[in-house]
Amino acid sequence: MENKVKQSLSTDKLKTGAGLTLLVLLLTGLAGCAIKGDKLPQPTAGKPAVGPAVAAGAGSSQPEDGRLGFVIREVPNRPADWQADFSAAVERLNERDYPGAIELLQTVIEHEPGVTAPYIDIALAYRKIDKPEPAEENLKKALELVPGHPVASNEYGMLLRKAGHFAKARTVYEQALARYPDFLPVHRNLGILCDLFLNDLECANTHYEIYSQGKPDDEQVKIWLADLHQRLGH
């Protein structure tokens, strides 16, 4: 069990990396280009919605590997004013220059307070330098803009879990899945939460199974499922 805790917590980098890939895809998609990554899951960027709204709906998409993904469409007001700063901030995050990323993302948010990606990325940077309070504040802002945003919820759930707020983390994950049931990292994290921190084995089994069906090449989760089935007497 102790080994599983270490393994599950060590995967946070992978899971947040998937969120960062998504955020880059969404915003660069507005500029007419796309970025491909090898992080799980591989989301698909949608075209900007037409109209004045900043957050303008969501839907499903079909990535190349056949799993269901999702699209969140956001229409920025003046992307030319901040796109360069956002791209530079992403580079700083990839280089682990978190203070530099935070400085640039604060500028982006001043220009475009109605887009979720800068809030999520700045929260990630604050979490990396062990500043959970501003991380939580920015994730809440993102979730105000797009309730249940799966990437923001995934980040927020991990932040709450680390702080020991297990029931609240579960609520955040479940609210995200109610709106975006096909976002696999949240299923994985909810399974870990139920398994290791809430002792709700049926919940863990449900979400490990969903994740494993969508990502059958993840051998680690298969091991967790086999162990869980033994404990459940399956």
Render pLDDT for 52-91 as a digit per residue (tens, 0 to 9): 222 223 333 333 333 455 677 777 877 777 889 999 999 9
65 vs 49, residue with greater confidence:
65
Q: Does the pLDDT value for residue 214 go beyond 80?
A: yes
Q: What is the pTM of this model?
A: 0.74
- What are the phi and psi torsion angles at 136 (to 5°)? -65, -40
130: three-class secondary structure by DSSP = coil
DSSP 8-state symbol, 194: I
Listed in order, strand segments (DSSP E) in the chain are 55-61, 69-74
Distance CA 137, CA 132 (A): 9
- The mean predicted confidence, pLDDT, of the chain is 76
Based on the structure, what is the number of domains in the chain? 1
pLDDT of residue 126: 97
pLDDT of residue 10: 34
Q: Which amino acid is at 91?
A: E
Which has the closest alpha carbon to 61: 45, 37, 39, 41? Answer: 45
pLDDT of residue 50: 21
CB atoms within 10 A of CB 203: 17
Q: Does the pLDDT value for residue 206 go beyond 70?
A: yes
Q: Does the pLDDT value for residue 114 go beyond 50?
A: yes
Distance CA 53, CA 75 (A): 6
User: What is the average pLDDT across 138-142?
Assistant: 97
Look up the CATH number of the domain holding residue 59.
Answer: 1.25.40.10
Residues with Cβ within 8 Å of residue 50, at least 6 apart in sequence: 75
pLDDT in tens, 96-105: 999 999 999 9
Largest Cα–Cα distance in the chain? Answer: 58
Using 50, 70 and 90 to split pLDDT, how confident is the model at 11?
Answer: very low
Instruction: Give the residue numbers spanning the domain of 199.
Output: 2-232
Q: Does the pLDDT value for residue 198 go beyond 70?
A: yes
